[in-house]
Amino acid sequence: MVETIVLKAEKREQSGTRCSRKLRKQGLVPAIIYGHKTEPVSVQLNYHDLTMELQHHHRLLEVELDGSQEKLLVKDVQYDHLGDTVIHIDLTRVDLDERVQVTVEIELRGTAVGVSEGGVLDQVNNNIELECLVTDIPESIRVKIGELKIGETLTAADLELPAGAKLISDPTTAIATISVMAEEPEEAEGEAGAAEGEVEPEVIAKKAEESEKGESEK
């Protein structure tokens, strides 16, 4: 597991689309900190450091503001229309013994036996909802699919959750399935023969005409 780094936050006085666009050009991301009956604080974070934390699936961030550090939970991340660039993030204050509901990514590991037999793997859902201690939020749920056969479905109930975690998603939610690869329809042999038969009389008739023409010219 990659250790969480301390993100340096600075208060920002201005807000709005134009201000946010200017911050992003400077390599910063606008953010807001709220929760626990405390006034919301608008801040700005280093874009590179923040996105590194998000790429490692860190949900509990260590943030330093005005010389003091506190752990903040990632509540919401907004991306641009392409889904590539972080344009805003919401962070909420939490107690370290607090249980929270979070969305966790699912990582499929291994090659399913059904795929080796010619089936097609389809990951229906990429994440699930869990409830756990804020200090025990997993980076992802890794599941081995080696024994999954053609026609079988992996559901949320089949996932092995971290100790103390509770499944919030519907247990019957499909995570991955192995289906039979659809075969391309083959051309019927009779139809192919009929098509070939249509050409032959034309060729014969043409040869016959050429023969008759040659006889008349002699």
Query: Read out DSSP for 5-35?
Result: PEEEEEE----SHHHHHHHHHTTEEEEEEEE
- Fold of the CATH domain 102-180: RNA Polymerase Alpha Subunit; Chain A, domain 2 (2.170.120)
Q: Which residue carries 């025990």 as its tokens?
A: 136
Domain residue ranges of the chain, discontinuous segments joined by +: 6-94, 102-180, 187-218
Tell me what pLDDT residue 36 has.
Answer: 83
Q: Mind listing the pLDDT tens digit for each residue in 144-186?
A: 999 999 999 999 999 999 999 999 999 999 999 999 876 655 6
Q: Write down the CATH number for the domain with range 6-94.
A: 2.40.240.10
- In single-letter form, the type of residue at position 120 comes to V
State percent of the chain over pLDDT 90.
67
On the question of pLDDT at 32 being above 90, the answer is yes
- Model confidence, pTM: 0.70
